[in-house]
């Protein structure tokens, strides 16, 4: 890409390139879960590894792990959410590990990747809803506490970069029994309403706990479902032919938390700046 030129890297399409080689060996990376490593589970083909993201307006260089390590030197990255963000965390760890295989470590129990020579820490916090889930010890009933984030939220503080996601689990009513809000319990609240309330709780936490002069905060939206074996390697040929005819496209939209809260999350009104201090809007990314 030409120096000084700007382009929207989120406007483009996925392109199949038979000459494309993966950025890391998924069979060798120690950070991939057994359930997400296709090659470890016996997938015979490698065609699914030969897709690349092509931007509409310009060309960008191939991902450079050493360059990213330098950009992240001395930083702490926190990735929070469900399996969507967990996959991103594992992939990022594998990408960086490929450049420094002997100079990095992984704490599987706490889901933390460390690149010691770069003083870089990337950690993942698994929470499907972002808000707290209370379990009744007597009957096992679960209540989503919409006005309280998960207790592990304390670990998110002081990060330089934060990436959040939630969404898929909110569509499955079997994952909870009640909603809790302001010390009241609701059994008939609509999923969409509960989701909006939870997102408002999350947004308040961000505005209260994030130093806007330091970190970058991202929120990832819904992605295609990936449950079961509906898209197993047996269907690769059909999927490949379909996408050759109709390339896959995607986009990511940036927005300001205050300005776009009503449109994105459906908030009825935007509140006054935190503590009346004239807090500047945070830059967020709503990604698919």
pLDDT of residue 64: 94
pLDDT at residue number 128: 96
Identify the residue whose tokens are 């969404």.
167
Could you tell me the pTM of the whole model?
0.77
Q: Which has more pLDDT, 43 or 262?
A: 43
Domain ranges in the chain are 65-287
Question: pLDDT tens digits for 182-204?
Answer: 999 999 899 999 999 999 999 99
DSSP E strand boundaries for the chain: 12-16, 51-55, 76-81, 104-107, 112-115, 120-126, 131-135, 142-149, 161-165, 178-181, 184-186, 216-220, 248-250, 252-256, 283-287
Q: What's the rounded Cα separation, in Å, for the pair 71 and 32?
A: 23
Dig out the tokens for 168 from the structure: 């898929």
Q: Which residue has the higher pLDDT, 230 or 115?
A: 115
pLDDT in tens, 19-29: 888 888 888 88
């Amino acid at each position: 890409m030409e120096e000084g030129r700007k382009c929207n890297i989120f406007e483009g399409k996925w392109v199949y390139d038979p000459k494309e080689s993966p950025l890391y060996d998924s069979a060798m990376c120690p950070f991939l879960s057994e359930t997400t490593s296709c090659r470890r589970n016996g997938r015979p083909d490698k065609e699914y590894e030969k897709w690349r993201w092509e931007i509409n307006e310009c060309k960008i260089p191939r991902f450079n792990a050493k360059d990213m390590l330098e950009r992240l030197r001395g930083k702490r990255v926190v990735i929070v959410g469900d399996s969507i963000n967990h996959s991103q965390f594992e992939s990022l760890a594998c990408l960086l590990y490929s450049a420094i295989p002997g100079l990095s470590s992984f704490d599987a129990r706490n889901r933390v990747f460390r690149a010691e020579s770069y003083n870089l820490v990337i950690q993942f916090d698994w929470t499907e809803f972002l808000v707290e889930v209370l379990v009744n010890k007597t009957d096992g009933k679960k209540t989503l506490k919409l006005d309280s984030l998960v207790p592990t939220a304390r670990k998110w503080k002081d990060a330089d970069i934060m990436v959040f996601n939630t969404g898929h689990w909110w569509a499955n009513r079997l994952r909870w029994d009640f909603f809790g809000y302001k010390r009241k319990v609701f059994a008939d609240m609509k999923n969409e309403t509960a989701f909006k309330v939870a997102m408002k709780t999350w947004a308040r936490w961000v505005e209260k706990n994030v130093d806007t002069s330091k970190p970058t905060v991202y929120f990832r939206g819904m992605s295609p479902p990936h449950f079961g074996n509906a898209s197993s390697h047996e269907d690769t040929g059909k999927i490949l032919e379909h996408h050759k005819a109709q390339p896959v496209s995607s986009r990511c939209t940036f927005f300001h938390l205050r300005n776009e809260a009503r449109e994105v999350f459906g908030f009825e009104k935007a509140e006054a700046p935190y503590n009346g201090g004239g807090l500047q809007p945070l830059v967020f990314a709503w990604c698919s």
